[in-house]
Structure 1
């Protein structure tokens, strides 16, 4: 059984979905500390040919809180403004009519907790892209929460009966092939290949939110992109 574990991010880039699609079970890591200036509550879209940051408004967010302790502000005016921005940026994109209703449904989701909102958004995108991986929220797993880093990951793997553990390429320095092998688990890192597609007539801007891919590409083409990676 193949497993991946990642913090929940706000409508993340293609690599996040590649990792999820490559495994049998995917743990949404919600009982670790919230990271400011990361991608948990924000992402980038295309505006006038350049990357533009969009975000979720939160209440009392702090690195001293776990992700599942952070609450949303629930500002409907902010959400309406965000949707107007997305419509303005992408209304002439070829797949706007099919992608925008999904994004609109996510943005308008009324949810008090950040983790509930992000879990909902992940499930909506999975449904749109026909990603059928089983999703598990880490706080629902009965484990030793005093463990940190690799040790906590290994315990989750042991509890779930994992044979292979996949991680994003950025975590290579955090995990040891030998330590995983000692637990009879194969450790692999997923490296996204270079993915280009037409964005209006401007120079291509890479690594934007999945929103951008959905606006400019068919579901069938995105499914092919989900397979464009290398395992190390």
Structure 2
């Protein structure tokens, strides 16, 4: 069984969803510390041919708090920003109602909000890994880093652990192998698609991918990766 464990991000880039496609089981890593300046509450969209951050306002966010201990603030401006910049995109009419559903979600807990967001996006993209929330799993809460990941793999009966390229600096294949686990990383292939009439700008939020590609083309783009 191929397992992936990731912190929940705001409208992640396509590589995040390629990881979800490659995995049989996905764990939302909600009981790790919040990281300021990361992707948990922000991402890039296309604005006049350039990239611009959209940011989910938070209340009391701190690196000393777990993701599931943080609350979100008022965020109606995100939806307005998306509407303003993508209203002429070819698939705006089919994608925007889904974004309204996500951003209209009533829960103020950051982890709950992002978990709901990921589930809605996966439903649209026709991704259906088995789903778990890290904080609900029975593991030693004192574990950190690689040890905590291996404990989750063991609890869920994984044979393979999949991660994004950033994990190469964090995880050791020999250590994973000693627990009977194969360690692999998603390597996204170069992709491009038409973004209005501007030069293609890569690595934006999944919002951008969906606005310019129908569901069938999104499915094809999600296959553009290798496990290394």
TM-score in terms of structure 2 length:
0.98
Map 1:12-31 to 2 at 5 A.
12-31=12-31
CA distances 1:99-152 after superposition (whole Å, capped 9, x unpaired):
111111111111120011000100000110110111111000010011111111
Check conservation: 2:186, 2:227, Cα contact below 8 A: yes
- Whether 1:128 aligns to 2:128 is no
Q: Distance in 2 between matches of 1:24 and 1:46?
A: 32
Aligned pairs, number: 228
2:56·2:78 contact (CA, 8 Å) conserved in 1? Answer: no
RMSD between superposed Cα atoms in Å: 0.8
Name segments (4+ residues, structure 1) moved above 2 Å. Answer: none
The residue correspondences of 1:5-16 to structure 2 (distance < 5 A) are 5-16=5-16
Alignment partner of 1:16: what SS? helix
Residue 82 of structure 1: how far off its partner (Å): 2.1
Alignment of 1:198 with 2:194, yes or no, is yes
* 2:207 is equivalent to residue 211 of structure 1: yes
1: CA distance between counterparts of 2:172 and 2:82? 41
1:62 aligns to what? 62
Cross-structure match for 2:141: 145
2:47 alignment partner in structure 1: 47
What is the rounded CA distance, in whole Å, between the counterparts of 1:217 and 1:31 in structure 2? 34
Q: Which residue of 2 is the match for residue 227 of structure 1?
A: 223
Could you say which residue in structure 1 is the equivalent of 2:158?
162
Q: Which runs of 5+ in 2 are unaligned?
A: none
Residues 1:102 and 2:98 are matched in the alignment: yes
Aligned 8 A contact 2:36 2:62 in 1: yes
Distance 1:170 1:231 in 2: 14
Partner residue in 2 for 1:188: 184
1:116 aligns with 2:85: no
Structure 1 gap ranges (5+): none
Matching residue of 2:86: 90
Q: CA deviation at 1:170?
A: 1.3
TM-score by length of 1: 0.96
